[in-house]
Each structure stands twice: as structure tokens, then as C-alpha cells.
A and B are shown apart, each in its own frame.
Chain A
Amino acid sequence: PRHRGSRFQVSAALQEGRVSPTELCQRCLSLIRSTRFLNAYITVAEETALKQAEESEKRYGRGQPLGVLDGIPIAVKDNFNTAGIETTCASNMLKGYISPYNATVVQKLLDQGAVLLGKTNLDEFAMGSGSTDGAFGPVRNPWSYSRQYKEKSVPKSHSEDKESDWVITGGSSGGSAAAVSSFTCFAALGSDTGGSTRNPAAHCGVVGLKPTYGLISRHGLVPLVNSMDVPGILTRCVDDAAIVLGSLAGHDPKDSTTIQDDFKPFELPSLTDVSKLSIGIPKEYHAPGLSSEILSLWSKAADLFKNAGAKVIEVSLPHTRYSIVCYHVLCTAEVASNMARFDGLEYGHRSDMNQSTESMYAATRREGFNDVVRGRILSGNYFLLKQNYEDYFIKAQKVRRLIADDFVKVFGSGVHVLLTPTTLSDAVPYKEFIKEDNRTRSTQDDILTQAANMAGLPAINVPTALSERGLPVGLQFIGRSFQEKQLLTVAKWFEKQVKFPMIQLEEVKRHDHGIFQHQKSASFS
């Protein structure tokens, strides 16, 4: 039987001594080794992780664990600074870069006794929606190797490489999503600027939470778009996400964009009565390219709420269709600015070209950045030119205000939570994905997730069902500003209704010693 309240199942196991932190850590490390072909991790910090696990064990031995997260193995996207462990942002620019400080969110997890297994793979500098454009290669979706997917695939002739059918994780936090999905860790940090946590969460069948902007500190998160970035949380169930959120949220004096108000970690109630709930279905999210499968799933989900007694109404967010263009201008402008610091002078890659400072800068940046990054820098600088600023940047800011106001109006009319698809389809095979360029893909894939970043609202992907191809499909809930408790409560109720199946992965089975086997042990709560 599940424990009540916010105790983690694995936490319970740790508490009761059924498994030790070092055992747990070893198993995760071993599983990471066996799933190396996923390329989910850029750096595995074996030594430090084991040390942390040992410390945790000592604490459990004394009966003094730091909290629910003590001894829990976690992974962190490689655009968060980790002291003493390489932080690369999947870019040549930062290969070998060892940061001297921990991001606030990393520090908070470590202070809670979490065991940091390693840094996960991403699109270079978090620019992309596939986790395919990083300097360390693409991440493979663990579901590519699941029994569920293999059963549904068309059998290939023996001359074709089976391996090449693997599907993408989505992005840009693909490594973190894959890590959680393949059971190599119990929670992972991602980042979300246009959907980068929710998108891979949907494709990898895990919970992906984007908190309200200003709730969690960005100090130590290498910025993509300062005014939209948030640290994202990836877990296998909604309860776990709530617990991680509780340990991370709150004002950070080092980040002037975090709100001052006190944050009180909450326990998620198990909702039984949804009759007072008002769910909004934004019609504009029936976007071009939305697969009929997902459309149908979305509709079924709406019915689920309706049949349970909730009020389900169609709403309109009329400026949704402008969000991608708006995002493009604001994002590239900030990128151009944020990337200006990478000149090879103080840290990171420095070119051998030393004829002059200018030539050194130019060569360093050409060598260090991939063309996705360079393309965005050039676009961004164009929009920021004096003669263009008014027409592009200022205009985009105005459009952003309109998009945000759309949500204010809808939530102001009594809707508690919005229900939308997270992605247009299930995960596509890598071979197909790379046929289109990064910019085109991002434009297409961000459409359902982007607006929440514009408006700074919290949003969460909840794995819902498997597609016809045997791959995960998720649905998204968007909540009111700083109303994470309400959002997660609804998400948890929905999660309970849909009973998303566990991934059937050979490697996981092999490593399972009763810890991962059952659904309830998939999580820590």
C-alpha cells in the first residue's frame, strides 16, 4: 500500500534500511553504464556521487536524514553550474569548463542530501527541441528500446540497422527526460524557456513541470532568455515533482527576479471531488499539424473531467498564433546579448588565433558555437540594431503583453486550469527529425508550450497514454501564476485516472532488484 503524505517510496525504503544510499547509487550508476547508448549523460560524477551516498548513509545510520530527498539520486541538465564538475552546455565553447560555484537549485538539492549522479545532455545552450544539436551528439529516447515501441514497429529487413530507428527525446532537456524515463535517477533538473522541459517530458513519458517565473532561482542557470527561463523539474510522478518543487522554491537574494514572498512547501491533497473545478480548453491550441491521435486524447481527457463533475469550457487565447514569431524576436535578441560574454578571454574555449583581440574573439566564437547558436546571435543583433529596435523588439514586447493578457482574462473569468496538448505528435525518428533544420523544428514544436513562458505561468506535462506506435503522449495543464499547488493537485488527479504504463526496458529489468519493479517504486513518494 502507498504511504500517505509526501514520503517517497524509495525514501521509505532508505529510511527502513531496505536499501542503502550507496546501494541505490551503485545501481543507478550501473544502469547508466548499461544505457550509455542513450547518450543521456555528458558527465557521470561517479566518485563524488558515491561520496555523497556514503555521507547520506551515515546520516541514515544516525537516524538523522536531512529530509525526504536524502540519498535520492538525481541528475542535472548540463546548463546548470556545478562546482567541481564540468559544465559544458553541450557546447565546444565550454568543453572542459569547471565552474567554481553551484547553481542555487543544485546547492539546495545537495543541502537536502540528494546524490548528484551527473550532468545530462541537451541541445547546445538549450537551443532546440530535439536534444540533437549538442556537441556530444543526440540523446536517444529510451522508449525507442522499449518492448511497447518494438512491438508496434514495422519489422525491418535484416540489412537495415535496427539501431537507426530510434526516436528523439524532444528538447532541449532531453538528457534529463531520458535519465528519469530510463530509471537511472529519481528526479532531474531541466530548464524551460519555450517548452524545453515539458516537450521532452511528453516524448519520454515523464512528468515535466515548468514553475511560475520568479518562483525558483535562476542563479547558476546559464541563461538562454533571462526573461523567460525557469529551472524545470522532471520526475516519474506528480507527487515527486511537488516534493522537488518544495525544496527549490523561494526567494534567492542572488537572483533579483525571484519574488520576495515566503514560499511554503505543500503536501498535495488527493483530490476526490472535482466538481468545483473549472477546466478551460483553449481552442487555438488545436494547432495546425496536431495529430488526430493527440486531438482525440485531448478530447477524451476533457470528457474525463466532465464526467467526473468538473466544469469544462472552451476558451479563447486569441494571440496564441503570434507567440512563435514574438518568441523568435525576443529570444534571439536575448541570446545575442547573453552570448556576448563568450570571448575566450576569461574562461572556456580560446582560439589559437592571436593576431588581435578582435580576430581572437571572432575565431573563438566561430569555433566554439554551433550554427544554431550563431544563427540566433546574428538574428538577435539584427533586431537590436537602432534602426530595427522599435519595429521588432518593442513590437514583440507589446505582443508579449497581449499574449500574457489573454491568460489573465481567461483565468480572471473563473477558469482554474487550462488543458492542452503538449506536443503535436509522438516522438519522431531521429532520421526524420534532422531532415528539417533546428529553427523550423523549434518553430513547429514550441507552439503549444511557448505561450506559458511568455506569460510566466506554471505548466506541467502529465504522461497520458501510448500512441499507436507505442510511444508516450502527454497532455499539458497550465495554471495561474504562483498557483502551483492547485495546478499539481489537478495534475495528480488526472495522473491517477489515466494510469500511464511503465516503460518495459530490458536494461532496467536486468538491474532491478525489486526497487524499480513495481509501479509504486518508480517514484520516491
Chain B
Amino acid sequence: LAPWVPVVGLEIHAQISSNSKLFSGSQVQFAAPPNSLVSFFDASLPGTLPVLNRRCVEAAVMTGLALNCSINKKSLFDRKHYFYADLPAGYQITQQRVPIAVNGSLSYSLCIDNKMSQMVTKTVRIKQIQLEQDSGKSLHDDTRNQTLVDLNRAGVGLMEVVMEPDMCCGEEAAAAVRELQLILQTLGSSQAVMAEGQLRVDANVSVHHPGEPYGVRTEVKNINSLRFLAKAVDYEIQRQIEELENGGTILNETRAFDSRLGCTMPMRDKEGKQDYRFMPEPNLPPLILYDAKSLPANMNHQQVVNIDWIQDRLPDLPSVKRAKLVEQYGILPEHSFTLLNEDGLTEFFENVVKQTHMKPKKVIGWIIKDLLSYLKQHSLTVKESPVSPFLLADLLNLLEKKVISSTAAKQVLAELWKGEGKTPLEIVKEKNLELLQDQKELEQICQAVIDGQENEVIMVLLG
């Protein structure tokens, strides 16, 4: 059987972290009472007009720069038409013709064969980033045969990040999205919490034989975690391969991921190809951005969005942070990934390092192997850790001073997890875990052991 080449592209919608919506002044807030954050414009009252939110533009520029994109100094807004209960105006304002940023790239890393020790770096091309409105939410109440519409989310600013089909499996897709998430959170342009709907991923999946053209692709929606993303993509790849090997065809359709069953299903609503009848948004002039060169002399940066000004103020991106951690502390690259991957772990690590004489290269093992695995076992976040950086540093200092052995240290740590407020030294004394420092005492113990093993001693002496 000829090999199959799976091809995965992603469309990621990231909610912009801003006080108000993309085109209106109503507030952006998660889980507010239904229809309590809806302005006249959001409700599409006749005669209302969009007014562009500057903060949203800045967020998109930041994100574009962080993803190595070219920022379009002139971009345009368009209307995308379709009828749905959660779209009050009957169209979404988006950027179809000329988006705000294009042609970027994102580097991400994967472990080969699940071994943290072997990491490989991959790159995915970013086709574009566009600004667009989020829709409201509609909930189907089948018992009463009605649809409930909540417009709180309608009009919230989104950045749609389009990743080219450079990925080949669920793991790559998840890793790429994870890295994007970290970047967005570092920039502050989006909080990117998938569970709160701030980061939504649609996957485009197809398979083909090497050398042949790309196969028909399906779009998989309704994925709300990284784990499910990987699962959904891999399932879909498998499904398509099986379908084709059995002589079937792949339909260019939209499928939803069912997390309970672990499979993708065709979506009811999206039948046939939609013609969105794109039209320029007549109420918004072209969006003009400036840089240091093009900024007119009489304008200050507060009146306009200046790309260079934003570039100068970008924080260290995750890749830079990791490199700095490796350089500063002598830890391995895969360690730096783990540190950044857990919210608050880097800070924890750095705090411990500050408070102990133990070399960071040794501290990292305790952080990743002991602390993190404990937290994972008990489903705790770093912030919820019963062991503080101070306590851990205290314990590691005992180890460093050879007051206890590393085995003993693990025992002390196990006690510390209980969170009973005892210091490491207290636990050491309690459990009598001190290392013997007396040379004579040690010799006596060794001699006693040797004396008790006569036969073995003779074997060793005989060679």
C-alpha cells in the first residue's frame, strides 16, 4: 500500500484582550448575565455605525510582528454575509481583501518519540492575520423547541490567524497552537484560554499520496482543548485514509469533533457551499498604519498606530525567554520548554534558584521531576502548590550542605506536600534523616557490614 501524506492547516480565532469590543464601546467580559453587554450597534439597531477600537488594532499589529509578518500599512474591512441567529446584522465585518498582516512564520518544538530529551524544531507559515467580529452565542433548547440568543459576545474583537497546511499530524498541530498561545499570552494581545472560548481552532485536514496533488480537505470544528485538537486531527486523518483505501471519496465538508466519542461527525447546518457575497464595508475607511518613516511630522504616536513604536515595545517572546533561561541557568532546552509550558513555573524556578546555593542545573530536576509531577498527579496549578519556592529552596539547601541524602530529601518533600506547616529541618529531625558526618562512625558501620558478609568479601578478594 502506498504511503499517505497527511496535510493539516489551521484557522485560529483568538479573542482580543481589550476593555471594549472591536467596533463598539460595550464591555468585553466572560460569563456576564445574558445580553448585559450589548450596545445598540451590537444589537444591529438600524442606523448604528461601526467605530474601530484602537487597542484591537494594536493587538493585531503586536501579534503580527511577533509572528514575523509583514504589517499592511493599508488594510480594508469587508462584510461577509450569512443568516444566523447569533449574527444580528446578517453579516460579519472582517478583512477579506486586504488583512492587517501577512506572510509570517511560527516556530514550535516537538519531542520525538515522546522523549523529552529529543526535541526537534518545526516551522509553520502564517498566511495572514485578520481583524474580525466575534458572533453571539445561540443555544438550542430542544425541549421547548426554541433557540436562545445571547449577544454578549457579538462584536468582540478577534484575530484570525491562518496557518498554512505545513503540519502533518495532531501532535504538530497541538504544539503549534500551544506556542501561539504562549506568544499571545506573553504579548497580552489575547488571554488565549481555550476553555473560555478565547482561543478557538478549526483544522483543515486532507491526505494524499506523495507526488500527487493534495486531496479534498475537510474542516473540523468544535475543538476546545489542545488534547482534543490532537485527537481530532489524528482521527480525521485516519478516517480519511480508511475511507480512501476502501474506495470511498472525501467530501469537502465541515465536521464537528465529538469529544465523548473521540470522532468527527458531519455538521448538520453547514450544507452546500455558502456564497458569502463579500462587499467592502462602506462605513469604515481603509485602516492606515504608520511607521517611523511614513509618520507625518505633525502627528504624534497617540493619534495614530505606529508600527515601529509597537515593535520597540514588544516583550521577550517565549523562544527568546527560553534561550535566555538556557543561557542563564545552564539548563537543557527541553527544560526551558517545560518551564514556559506551565503557568508560573518559570517564576517558581527562578525564585528557588535565588534562595538556594544549589546549582540551577540540579534545581531544575527537582522542579520538573518532583514538583511538577506531584502537581500533575493532584491536578494542581503551580499557584496552588502547597510547597512554596521558599520551602523547596530551604530543603535543597539542606541537601546541598549534605545534611541529608537525596533519598532523604525526597522523603522530606513527601512530608512537605501535606502542607502541615513544618519546615524541612523540623521534618529531618523528626524522622531522624540526618546524614552521618562522623568519619569514625561511618567506618564502624562499614566494617560492621563487611563483617556480616564474610563469603562475599572472600569472593571479592579472590577477584
Contact = CB atoms under 8 A, between A and B. Distances in A.
A399 B44 CA distance: 31
A103 B90 contact: no
Interface stretch (A4-12, A305-313, A379-387, A418-426): A379-387
A446 B83 CA distance: 32
A343 B90 contact: yes
A219 interface: yes
B292 interface: no
A497 to B, nearest CB: 39
Contacts of A254: 49, 51
Given A101-B40, A103-B47, A333 B279 contact: yes
A256 interface: yes
A255 interface: yes
Interface residues on A, range: 35 or more
Nearest to B147: A357
A337 B279 CA distance: 8
Contacts of A341: 44, 46, 88-90
B282 A226 contact: yes
A107 to B, nearest CB: 12
Nearest to B46: A222
Contacts of B208: none
A49 B402 CA distance: 91
Looking at A257, A337, A339, which has the most chain B CB atoms within 10 Å of its CB? Answer: A337
Contact of A218 (B44, B49, B90): B49
Contacts of B40: 100-101
A219 B279 contact: no
A220 B79 contact: no
B51 A256 contact: yes
B197 interface: no
Interface string B37-73: 0001001111111111000000000000000000000
B438 interface: no
A361 B83 contact: yes
A221 B45 CA distance: 11
Interface of chain A, main secondary structure: loop
B275 interface: yes
B282 A346 contact: no
Contacts of B89: 340-341
Given A219-B47, A346-B88, A340 B279 contact: no
Interface residues of B, number: 31
A334 interface: yes
B85 interface: yes
A256 B52 contact: yes
A473 interface: no
Contacts of A357: 84-85, 147
A328 to B, nearest CB: 15
A94 interface: yes
B371 interface: no
A492 to B, nearest CB: 32
Interface of chain B, main secondary structure: loop
A253 B90 contact: no
B278 interface: yes
B49 A94 contact: no
Contact of B45 (A99, A218, A339): A99
A266 interface: no
Contact of B44 (A87, A253, A346): A346
A219 B48 contact: yes
Contacts of B121: none
Contacts of A361: 83
B277 interface: yes
A227 interface: yes
Interface string A335-360: 01101111101110000000001100
Contact of B49 (A256, A358, A385): A256
B78 to A, nearest CB: 11
B65 to A, nearest CB: 25
Interface string A280-314: 00000000000000000000000000000000000
B275 A386 contact: yes
A166 interface: no
Given A256-B283, A385-B277, A393-B279, A222 B47 contact: yes
Given A256-B284, A385-B277, A337 B81 contact: yes
A196 interface: no
B419 interface: no
B82 to A, nearest CB: 9
A256 B44 CA distance: 17
Nearest to A227: B282
B149 interface: yes
A345 B85 contact: yes
B282 A100 contact: no
A384 to B, nearest CB: 4
Nearest to B52: A256
B79 to A, nearest CB: 6
Interface in B77-112: 79, 81, 83-85, 88-91
A169 interface: no
A346 B47 contact: no
Contact of A345 (B45, B50, B88): B88
B285 interface: yes
Given A101-B40, A219-B48, A389-B278, 11 more contacts: A227-B282, A254-B51, A256-B285, A337-B79, A341-B44, A346-B44, A346-B88, A347-B43, A361-B83, A384-B279, A386-B277
Interface of B: 40, 43-52, 79, 81, 83-85, 88-91, 147, 149, 151, 275, 277-279, 282-285
22 contacts: A81-B45, A81-B47, A87-B46, A89-B46, A218-B49, A219-B48, A219-B49, A225-B282, A256-B49, A256-B52, A256-B284, A257-B282, A257-B283, A257-B285, A334-B282, A337-B279, A339-B90, A340-B89, A340-B90, A381-B277, A389-B277, A393-B279
